[in-house]
Structure 1
């Protein structure tokens, strides 16, 4: 907190404070600081902090499988077929640019989260699951 006082307004400081609060279990302050970092610089961490906020919200709600059926971390739905079909909730398919951006953002958040969260953590498992579905949705059989 002292660094925020000495160097106010730095986006990276805000998101790092958010992560620090997350690590000590204060999800409310974590969300506040992550949101502040996004406000200061929407493109911080490749614009992926919206995923971090979804992760924190899921933790705050003590998310279960039922929760994730309605509230996905990546905000992408995959249909019910054998091969996932990525689309927005309004059924619009993702463009290649949207797919690439979410893929890159999710990959960054996975790399950030896996170093500080147990792999048995339900939210982390959901993030890996959604990322795998996103990858499979691009699969084109020969």
Structure 2
């Protein structure tokens, strides 16, 4: 069996795993406008892909919504849009006004904390995030404790913060990460890291020391939990992009690439069988179609469409595989 088919089946296996864990993160404003519609692939934080194109029209529509209904959510969403635009002073002024109109709202406290942090006023940010947790302890998937630790590091101006400072544990200094945490504790920590990082990456571009450290720790947990290690390698690479520099990271990256390569080699026999079954199925379809002229044309077109899609997927995977192999060699 040729390598192209092997790459194809590996891609199918990985894709089936991906779709099983795939979910969508959607943010809609009060006026039903969709701000982002992201897909979450495992625990690789990519940030939100904001879909807004006409900011002035959207803000005007939200203002009209508030004038008509007096629903404070319209104003709150206007502030969120201002944050996306980077208009932090305007957003701050608006949220302080909202706090006067209707005090002690969770979203107001949370957004004030975020706005102050983006403006560099970390002490005020800390107080508002702390207040938001008091109002709603389960907010942001119960990950705001990590937000407070991040702000604490900024307030104390810690030059070289460690992962242990943020998450209260470490994964050792050996080539393979180790932990005494239970599976449940690891998953909860992984969820918190992903949520906080995904939000921060939406607004903070490389390089950022705190984000790089947290990405490294997320990569460690992901490597502990993964069989193939492709997601862990992506997170480690992202950590390097944000400025993390450590030989241990490179060593663990090499482990990821080796595991991925071993996975491909170990499954060659199974991949051959799958490809053979696929070919047999295709042959049977064609033979069956030839017995029925009315359906022959449709079946041929269907078969061709499948082959074209599989060929494209094969090429994409082949390129990715070569890139990963090259990166492993370079490391």
Bin of the TM-score, shorter chain as denominator length: 0.7 to 0.9
Q: Distance in 2 between matches of 1:69 and 1:53?
A: 14
* Structure 1, 6-15 or 33-42: larger mean CA deviation: 6-15
Match of 1:94 among 157, 178, 181: 181
Q: Distance in 2 between matches of 1:62 and 1:137?
A: 31
CA separation of 1:134 and 1:22: change in aligned 2, threshold 3 A: same
Q: Which sections of structure 1, spanning at least 5 residues, go unmatched?
A: 87-92
SS for the counterpart of 2:132 is helix
2:128 is the counterpart of 1:33: yes
Q: Distance in 2 between matches of 1:70 and 1:114?
A: 21
Aligned residues: 134
2:162 is the counterpart of 1:68: yes
For normalisation by structure 1, the TM-score amounts to 0.84
Q: Distance in 2 between matches of 1:133 and 1:78?
A: 7
Match of 1:119 in 2: 206
Q: Distance in 1 between matches of 2:99 and 2:200?
A: 23
Match of 1:8 in 2: 103
Question: What is the CA RMSD across the aligned residues, in angstroms?
Answer: 1.9
How far residue 46 of structure 1 moved from its aligned partner, in angstroms, is 0.5
Contact 1:18-1:29 within 8 A present in 2 as well: yes
CA separation of 1:69 and 1:55: change in aligned 2, threshold 3 A: closer
Match of 2:112 in 1: 17
Name the larger-Rg structure. Answer: 2
Q: Which sections of structure 2, spanning at least 5 residues, go unmatched?
A: 1-95, 228-258, 264-331
Match of 2:178 in 1: 85
Q: Which runs of 4+ in 1 moved over 6 A?
A: none
Q: Distance in 2 between matches of 1:41 and 1:69?
A: 26
Per residue, is there more helix in 1 or in 2?
A: 2
Q: Distance in 1 between matches of 2:140 and 2:164?
A: 26
